[in-house]
Structure 1
Amino acid sequence: MIHGGMKAATVAIGAATVLALVSGCTLLNAPAHPAATTSTASPDPDPVPIAQQLPNLLVAGQTIGTGQLRVIEHEPIPGTVTDHPLTGAVRIVVGEDRVLEVHIAPDDPSTVNLGDIMLTMTGKRHDGKPENIQDENYYGLVAGPSSTAGDLVMRMPLDSPAAGDPTFLHSLEESPPGDARVFAVATIDWTLPPAYPNLAPVDHGSVANARGRTVLDGETLAYYVPGQGDTIYQVSRRFGLTEAQLVWLNPELLIGSPQPYLKYGIGVNLDPGRR
C-alpha cells in the first residue's frame, strides 16, 4: 500500500507524445496579395465530454459481483449490535433502472435488524491488495424491496458516470449507525469484463502541462503527482493514455464533479490494479 498524503488505490500503450520545438522559421516568397479562399467545411463539432466517453458495462438483470459478508477482527463495540451481526452470501445485481442492488442472503434471517447496522460500499480494500491513492469514497445503501428468494435487497444510488464500471468499489462494510468501526466485511469479486484489457501506461517524459513526478512501486508505475498547470489532456498523453482512460483509472475525479480536473500535488493513480 502506498501513502503520500493520499490513500492507495485501477492500458493499451498509446503512441509517444512528441513535443516539436520549431524556431527561426521564415516564410519565403510569400505572395504580396494572397488569393482569397472560401471554406465550405462545417465547423468542428463540440468535443464529447470525458464523462460520456467512460465505459458503461451495466446490463439490467445481470449479477456482476459476489462476496461473503463475514465478521472480522474489530475493536470492542458496546451494546448488542455485534452479538447478532448480519452475515451471508452477497450478490451485486444491476436493477431494471440500472441502479446497483446489493442482495444479501442472511445466514440467520431471524436475527436481522437493519435498524441496528449501517451497510456501505467502499473503495477501501480488505483483501491485502494495493489501494487507490485517491481518497476512498463511501456509499451508504438504502433498503429496497425484499426479493422472492428471501434476500435482503439494498440499493446503492451512485449518481456518477463512474458507476458504469463499479469495479473500483472493492468492499461491502458493516458498522453501527454513525460509527466508523467496521465489524463485518465482504470483499467483492467482480465478474464484469475488463473495460480496458492490457492497459499499461508508459512514461514518455515530462512535457508542457505534464511536468509532475511519477512514483514507482517496485517496477510498477504506481501514480503521478501533478505539477502546477498540469492538464488531464497533457498528462494522459504523457503516459500514452486517452483522457477517458486516465479518468477511468481515477473515478474519484468525476464523483461530485461533472468536469474532471487535476489538483496540484494530489496524486492520481496510474496502475489498473489499484483502481
Structure 2
Amino acid sequence: MPARRTLASAAIGSALVGLLLAGCSVSGDEAVPAPTRQTSVDGAGRTSGTSPAPTGEQAQTPQVLPVGAVAAETDVVSADGGTRMHVRVVANRQGTFDAELSGYRTTTDEWLRLEFRRSDADGGGDSSGYVAGVARWDPATSAPASVGLSEAGPTPDYLHSVALVPSSDDGDAGLTGDVPVLAVAPLRWTIPDPYPALRVVVGEARPGAHGWVHDRDGVPVSYQVATDDAQATVADRLGLTVAQLRWLNPTLPTDAGAQLITDTDLNLDPDER
C-alpha cells in the first residue's frame, strides 16, 4: 500500500506558513485418473494455503495428544473400488485436529463432498445429521490435501464415520432428496477418555433443573430438558461439571442465549457419546 509522509515547517517568529505533503507509492491404474492436488481447506470448505490464525479459545484448548500424533486412520473406498481416499486425523498445535487426505482416486466426473459424521458407517446411531470437516471439490481440481476439524473440538471421537457423497458445483443447492453415499468408512479413535471414572448421580429437581431423568436398569442414560433449565444447574443436579455435560453432549443444541432447549434429550451414557 502507498506510504505517506507529512513535513511541517514553521516560519521563525511568525505564524505557521504551511504544510508540505510528500507521498510515494509502491507499486495407480490407467483407467483410474490421478487428478492434481489442492492445498487444504478448513471445515467450512474454504481453500487455504496456510492454517487460519487460532482464536483465543483454540489457543487455550488442552492438548489431548502430542502435535502430529495420529488419532484415527482409515480408507474410504466405494463399493466398486473406483473411488478411494486415505484419511488420517492428526493433532495440531491449536489443541484440535486436522484430517490429512491422500491416495485420492476416482472414476466419477461428479463433484464430491467429504464429511465426518456422528452417525455410524452403517447409518445407525446418531440421527441428528451432524457433520464436521466438510470439504467439496471439482473433479477437475481433485481433493484437498487436508481439512480442519477444529469445529469438532479437542475430543472429536464422537464422529463415528467419514463419508464421500456426490455434491454439485452450486453448493448442493441442485441436489434434492436423500443423496446416496458413494463411500463410507468407520473411524476408530485413539484419543484417551478424559473422564474414565465419570458417574452420574441424580439429585433433587430444582429451579433451573427440573427436567426428567430416564434410566436403563437403574442407570441414568438421558435427561429431558424442562422449560428454563440452565446448563450449570442441570450439570450440578446430575453430579457433573458443565465440561462433563458438554463432553457427553458435544453437539448440544442451545438457543441464542446458550440456554438449553426445552424437550431436548441430553445423553448421560459415555458409551452413547
TM-score of the aligned structures, taking structure 2 as reference length: 0.61
Identity of aligned residues (%): 26
Runs of 5+ unmatched residues, structure 2 = 1-56, 138-142
Superposed displacement of residue 124, structure 1: 1.4
Paired position in structure 2 for 1:154: 146
Q: 1:198 to 1:113 in 2, by over 3 A?
A: farther
Q: Which has the larger radius of gyration?
A: 2
Change in Cα spacing, 1:218 to 1:70, as seen in structure 2 (3 Å) is farther
Match of 1:65 among 66, 72, 80: 72
Of 113, 116, 119, the residue aligned with 2:111 is 116
CA distance in 2, matches of 1:237, 1:52: 28
- Structure richer in helix, relative to its length: 1
Partner residue of 1:265? 263
| 1:231 aligns to 2:230 (yes or no) | yes
Q: Which residue of 1 aligns with 2:98?
A: 101
What are the residue-to-residue correspondences of 1:14-93 with 2, within 5 Å?
A: 56-71=63-78, 85-93=82-90
Instruction: Quickly say closer, same or farther: Cα 1:244–1:143, change in 2 above 3 A.
Output: same
Higher relative contact order (CA 8 A, sep 6+): 1
Find the aligned partners of 2:250 and 2:144 in 1 and give their Cα distance: 28
For residue 217 of structure 1, report the CA deviation from its aligned partner.
4.1
Change (3 A) 1:53 1:213: farther
Is residue 126 of structure 1 aligned with residue 121 of structure 2? yes
Higher strand residue share? 2
Following the alignment from structure 2 to structure 1, what is the Cα–Cα distance between the partners of residues 219 and 101? 36
The number of residues matched between the two structures is 203
Q: Is the 8 A contact 1:55 1:165 kept in 2?
A: no
* CA distance in structure 1 between the aligned counterparts of 2:243 and 2:59, rounded to whole angstroms: 9
Q: State the alpha-carbon separation in 2 of the partners of residues 184 and 158 from structure 1.
A: 23
| TM-score of the two chains, using structure 1 as the length reference | 0.61
Q: Secondary structure at the match of 1:166?
A: coil
Contact 1:71 1:85 in 2 (8 A): yes
Quote how far apart the aligned CAs of 1:248 are. 1.5
